[in-house]
Amino acid sequence: MSKKYEQLSKEILDSIGGTENISSMTHCQTRLRFVLKNNEIVDKEEVKKINGVVNVIESGGQFQVVIGTHVEEVYEEIDKLSDLSDEDESALNEGDKQQSFIGKFIDFISSTIAPVVPAIAGAGMIKAFLALLLLFNLISRESQTYFIVNFMADAVFYFLPFFLASTAAQKLKASPFLAMFLAGVLLHPNLSQLVSQGDPVAIFGVPMRLVNYSSSVIPILMIVFLQSYVERFLKKIIPDAIKIIFVPMLTVLFVGTIGLTILGPIGGYVGDYIAMGFEFLASYGNWAVVFMVATFWPLMVMFGIHYSLGPISTMQLATTGLENIVGPGAIISNISQGVAAFVVGFRTRKTAEKSVAISTGVTALMGITEPALYGINLPKRYPLISAMIGSACGGLYAGLTNVYRYATGASGIPAIPLYIGEDIWHLYNILIALVITIVVTAALTWVLSFKFENKDETADEVEKEILEEVSEIKLGGEVMFSPLKGKVVSLSEVEDEAFSSETLGKGVAIYPEDGIVVAPFEGEISALFPTKHAIGVVSNNGMEVLIHVGMDTVALNGEHFEAFVKKGDKVKKGQKLVTFDIDAISKAGYSTIVPVVVTNTNSYSDISIKKNDAIQFEDELLVAEI
C-alpha cells in the first residue's frame, strides 16, 4: 500500500483520541465515519486544521471527517495503524498466530455466522413449534397455516447466502452490497429454473454445473473471499473518476462467473463423489453408511453436500419401502448436536450464551441444527467434537443393528414415529442408538467443558469464590475503593456535561491531593488513552470504571502524565496505574478534577456514593448493589 496517506492517517487517529476512543469506523465515498466512545475529548476545530481534511461534521451520532475521493486509502491506512481489526476479527486470529489453517477456517465460518444466529435461532424455534403442533395433531401438513408459517421459518435458511455475504464482506473488508449482489446471483429464480430443468448450460462457452444454493454456507463464503481480492485489485488500478461504475461491474462479472462455474459447484462435485462412496459402502455393508452419516452429518450440512444423498435416499425408499442412508444417521447427529448445546447451556455462566445454547438445543432436538451448530457448537469446537463422537457411537450401533425408517420426514424427536412399522425392532434399536448418543455426547461435553469453559465453575466452586471474596462484597454488591487521595464531591461540580449529567454513568469527582491514580479493585485495564489522561478498569466481578484525570487534558498529548500499565494488564487493588503533575497541569490552564464513574451503571440496582469528604486510598468510595 502507498505510504502517501500515512501521516494524514496518523494525525487523524491521534486527534480523535486514538484507537481506544473508537467504537466503530466506516467510510462512504468522501468521508470517514467514526462512532466515538467519547466525542468530548476530540477538538473538532483542531481536526479541521489537519492538512488533508476538508471538513468535520457531527451528525446522527457520527463524527464524520471529510477527506475526498481518496477516502478509502486513508481508511485502510487508519485500519492498519489501529488495532481495531486485531480486536474485532476473531475469525482469523484470537491472538494466536500459531493457529492451524483448520482452526482459522472454523473460526472464520463461526464468526461470520455469529451475527446471523439470532435470526436462525428464531426461525429454528418456529420450526420446533410447528413440529410440536404436528406431533400432537393440532395441525396437518396440508393446512394453509402449516404451509405459510413453515415458509416464514424457511426464509432465513433459504436466503442464508445473503446474510453470510454481508457478514463475510464486512469481515474481509469488501463491499457488503456487492457481496449480496453475488448472493442474489446464486439464489435468482432463473438459476433455480435452470436447475429444475436440468438442461446443459454454459457461460462464455464454459460449462456450468447446476447447483441449488439455498441454505448453503461454503459456496458464498468462497465467492466473497475471491471478491475481496478482486475488488481490492480493481480499486488500485481503476482511476477514481470511473471507479464507482467499473469496480462493481467487473467484480460481479468476473467473480460471478468463477463462482457459478468453479467455486459454487465444488460442493456439488464433492457431494457426487460422497454419494458414490456411500453407494459403494452400502453394497458391502449398510452399517458403514449409517455410521458415516451419523458422524459427519454436521460437516455435510455445512458444505451443503448433504443434498447429494437425497436422490439415493429417495430411490432406496421408493424401491424397497425402507430407508437408512440418511434417516438414522441424521436423527442421531441432530439429537447429539442438541444435547451438546444443552450441556453448554448448563455449564456456562454467561447469561447471553446460556440463553442461546438452551434455545438452540431445543431446536436441534426438533431436527433444526443450524442454530446450535453455528451459534454454539462450531464456535466452541469442543461441543461439536463431543457430538460427533457421540453420534459415531450411536451410529455404529444403529448400523450394526440394521435400523431402517419407513417414511421420510424431519430428523429430530418428531421423526421417531417414522421407525414404527412391521418390524418393531427398528423403533427399539433407534431408541437405543439415541440413548447411547445422548449419554456419550453429554458425558464428553461435560468433561471437556471443565477445560474449555475457563470461567465456568460448578455451584460449589462459585460458592467458594464468593466466600473468598466476601470482604469485597457488601449487601449483595461490590465495593470500589478510592483510586485517588483527595476530596470527594458530586459529579455535578464537573464542568463537562457528559460527566455532570451522569450520561457516562453514576459516580463521584475527586479533587486530588497528589498526582497518583491506583487501582480501585482487583481487575484488568480495559482502556488506556494514548494521552494517558483517562483509564478504564474492569473488576473481576464485572464493574466497569472510567477514571478521567482533569478536563480537556487530552490537549496535553500525554505531557505531565506517566502510565505504569497498559491495556489488558491484570492489576491488584492499590496498584499504581498513572501519575500526573497537578501543578504543571493547573499552570497550563486545565482543571485537575478527576471524575470516577461506573460506566455500566445499568447493571446495578443502586449505587451508594460517599460525598463531600476527604478520602484516602484505602477508603470505600462507593458500593454498587446488584
438 and 494 housed in the same domain: no
User: What's the structural domain count of the chain?
Assistant: 4
- Whether 76 and 216 map to the same domain: the answer is no
Tell me whether residue 223 is in a domain: yes
Same domain, 438 and 313: yes
- The domain boundary, picked from 420, 452, 484, lies at 452
Mean pLDDT, range 275-299, rounded to an integer: 75
Confidence of residue 104 (pLDDT cuts 50, 70, 90): low
CATH number at residue 59: 3.30.1360.60
Q: What is the pLDDT of residues 357-398, one digit of tens each?
A: 888 888 888 887 877 887 788 878 899 999 999 999 999 999
Instruction: Please state the rounded mean pLDDT for residues 597-619.
Output: 77
Going by pLDDT thresholds of 50, 70 and 90, the confidence category of residue 249 is: very high
Q: What is the pLDDT of residue 196?
A: 82
> Which residue segment(s) compose the domain that 552 sits in?
476-625
Task: Determine the pLDDT at residue 462.
Answer: 41
Average confidence score pLDDT of the chain = 80
Per-residue pLDDT at 120 exceeds 50 = yes
- What string of DSSP letters covers 112-134? HHGGGHHHHHHHHHHHHHHHHHH
Can you give the pLDDT at residue 603? 72
Residue 20 pLDDT exceeds 80: yes
What pLDDT sits at residue 158?
84
**Cell for 237?**
488500478
Same domain, 250 and 326: no
Set of cell numbers at residue 422: 412391521
pLDDT of residue 273: 67
pTM of the model: 0.46
Judge if 481 and 423 occupy the same domain: no
Element (H, E) at 594: strand 594-598
Q: List the alpha helices (DSSP H) in 348-424.
A: 351-365, 370-372, 378-380, 382-400
Residue 135 in this model has a pLDDT that exceeds 80: no
**Are both 210 and 109 inside the same structural domain?**
yes
Chosen domain end from 34, 55, 85: 85
**619, amino acid identity:** D
Q: Is residue 564 part of a domain?
A: yes
Top pLDDT among 2 and 22 is at: 22
396-426: per-residue pLDDT in tens? Answer: 999 899 888 877 666 788 888 888 877 888 8
pLDDT at position 268 is: 62
12-20 average pLDDT score: 87
Lowest mean pLDDT among 231-235, 339-343, 349-353: 349-353
The residue-averaged pLDDT of 497-507 equals 75
For residues 79 and 118, membership in a common domain is answered with no
Given 85, 112, 129, which residue is the final one in a domain? 85
* Catalytic site residue from 1, 24, 28, 96: 28
Task: Go through 381-398 and write b for each residue having 16 or more CB atoms within 10 A of its CB, e for each that does not.
Answer: ebbbebbbbbbbbbbbbb
- pLDDT class for 91, splitting at 50, 70, 90? very low
Indicate if 117 and 259 belong to the same structural domain: yes
pLDDT, residue 470, reads 37
Q: Would 277 be classed as within a structural domain?
A: no
Is residue 28 flagged as an active site residue?
yes
Residue 226 pLDDT exceeds 90: yes
pLDDT in tens, 509-531: 999 988 999 999 999 998 887 78
Are 134 and 207 in the same domain? yes
149 pLDDT more than 80: yes
- Identify the pLDDT of residue 256: 93
pLDDT digit string, tens, across residues 72-86:
788 888 887 775 544
> Per the domain annotation, does 97 fall within a domain?
no
Q: Does 330 share its domain with 442?
A: yes
Instruction: Specify whether 187 is located in the same domain as 229.
Output: yes
**CA angle (37 as vertex; 34, 43 as ends), nearest 5:** 70
Residue 387's closest CA among 325, 334, 329, 348? 334
DSSP for 37-48? S-GGG--HHHHH
Indicate whether 591 and 492 sit together in one domain.
yes
In-domain check, residue 210: yes
Q: Is the residue at 471 inside a domain?
A: no
Confidence class of residue 332 from pLDDT cuts 50, 70 and 90? very high
Decide if 90 is inside a domain. no
Does residue 91 form part of some domain? no
Sheet arrangement for strand 506-512? 570-571, 523-528, 534-539, 544-548, 594-598, 506-512, 486-489, 613-615
Q: What is the domain-level CATH number for residue 543? A: 2.70.70.10
- Distances, alpha carbon 357 to alpha carbons 363, 369, 475, in Å: 10, 12, 32
Residue 625: strand pairing partners: 477, 606
- Residue 107 binned pLDDT confidence (cut-offs 50, 70, 90): low
d(CA 503, CA 496): 10
Helix, coil or strand: residue 139: coil
Task: State pLDDT tens for residues 285-296.
Answer: 667 888 888 888
